[in-house]
Amino acid sequence: MMKRALISVFDKTGILDLAKFLVSKNIEIISTGGTYKYLLENNIPVIEVSKITKFDEMLDGRVKTLHPNIHGGILALRDNKLHMNTLKEKNIDTIDYVIVNLYPFFEKVKENLSFEDKIEFIDIGGPTMLRSAAKSFKDVVVLSDIKDYELIKTEIDKNGDVSFDTRKMLAGKVFNLTSAYDAAISQFLLDEEFPEYLTISYKKNSLMRYGENSHQKAAYYIDNMNDGAMQDFEQLNGKDLSFNNVRDMDLAWKLVSEFDEAACCAVKHSTPCGVAIADTTKRAYKKAYESDSVSIFGGIVAFNKKLDLETAKLLDVIFLEIIIAPDFSKESLELLTKKKNLRLIKCGKKPSDKKEFIKVDGGILVQDSNTKLCENLEIVTKTKPSVEQEKDLLFALKVVKYIKSNAIVIVKDGQTLGIGGGEVSRIWAAEKAVERAKKFGKNDLVLASDAFFPFKDVVELVAKNKVSTIIQPGGSLRDQESIDECDKNNISMIFSKLRHFKH
């Protein structure tokens, strides 16, 4: 019995060569709509699917292959006599190869199309044929990925058929694809913030050299449904990105994107070590560097403005892993690309994630992204902050959002002077921040805390160390003790009414 292949592809890449190969192996080709016309125009002998179904396609092509003469030929078990007798009685021939790729819903859902137009890119017949063929993989070779065309040709040439292991792998790829495809459609149609089933759709962008450590395997996946800064960046120079690089880039870019002024953020081990704002990129970098000139070595530096030559000259004299900016001047690129391993990342999009996912053993936590800064600011002390201190209060609050809890940030004139984070006690975080800020010898410092003060000990500490203004969420049962201690030391304190835990 002559074998048959059903071909129905939106993306025609490589399909002519595959069709010619199949014909050369005496495999009859069935096809639909645009694919049928394309093969016919290129002199490939092909049977239109309507000749098999004995039913013209209808509803603007929505119904072509949804027919027993197609799915019977795919789903029948060849070693089941009842199945084969049924095919014979119904005059249905088997289909041995199914080659299908889907309407580009992943791409079209992101385009500026109407809701109705996007609906039309939901493929029905394609996934149905793929799933049928994948279920029958012992008898049917199913191809959903253009990259597998050569594999099949090689196996048939070498062995005269496709091995069980390859058939099984190809079937697995089908369900991997269709589950992501269905998940994307579900996200598109459902308005529920937290639906009954978590259906997310991501595609592998690249394999990482390794994960956080060399013994851990890792890959990078990007969201099929939403654009985002970390999927649309352009690498202009340097070696491949690592797992840790992407995490650090994400953090640094999110932090500098908080500001309208020229901003610079240096990150080391997923922790900001120096952050500053200024009227120029060069000044912002100098202030960020001075914040912690030790930790920045081997770190990542992000800017929210175009990188110019003068700033590049300063960056060129130290060892950095990554520089990320919305753009680079021609002169800065010429200078920095002389370092062949230095990764230069051009990132033009603002952070846009609406949800965050945290994996735990046996489950996954989902929450809204932390996009708010404060509910409303309330001055709770007798002393009030100056206009300049108010600017620093907001600067410090934006930075403290990105420090691991417990988090304390001390700043002055748009520059971090002391950062304490990741401590199990708030007073320990404050002690670290104070210790680091001391070396600058500045007065009238501003402090931000990610959460309320459970005791007055933080105020007592910083009152002795030149802090004159504090911003914290408030909400502790002992708030009044901290307020009284501020009043005692002529410190102004503002409640932001919003906590910024980062675990």
Q: Which residues are tagged catalytic?
A: 135, 269
| Strand residue runs (E) in 300-388 | 300-303, 322-325, 343-346, 355-360, 363-368, 378-379
Q: Which two tokens stand for residue 382?
A: 């007798």
Q: What are phi and psi of 433, to 5 degrees?
A: -60, -45
* CA–CA gap between residue 28 and residue 15 (Å, rounded): 15
Comparing C-alpha atoms, which of 201, 215, 192, 140 is closest to residue 357? Answer: 201
Q: Which two tokens stand for residue 169?
A: 């792998």
CB 80 within 8 A of CB 124: no
Q: What is the DSSP string of 393-462?
A: HHHHHHHHTTSPSS-EEEESSSBEEEEE-S-SSHHHHHHHHHHHHHTT--SSEEEEESS--SSSHHHHHH
Task: Say what the alpha-carbon torsion angle 78, 81, 83, 85 is, to the nearest 10 degrees.
Answer: 120
* CA–CA gap between residue 335 and residue 459 (Å, rounded): 47
Q: What are phi and psi of 68, to 5 degrees?
A: -60, -30
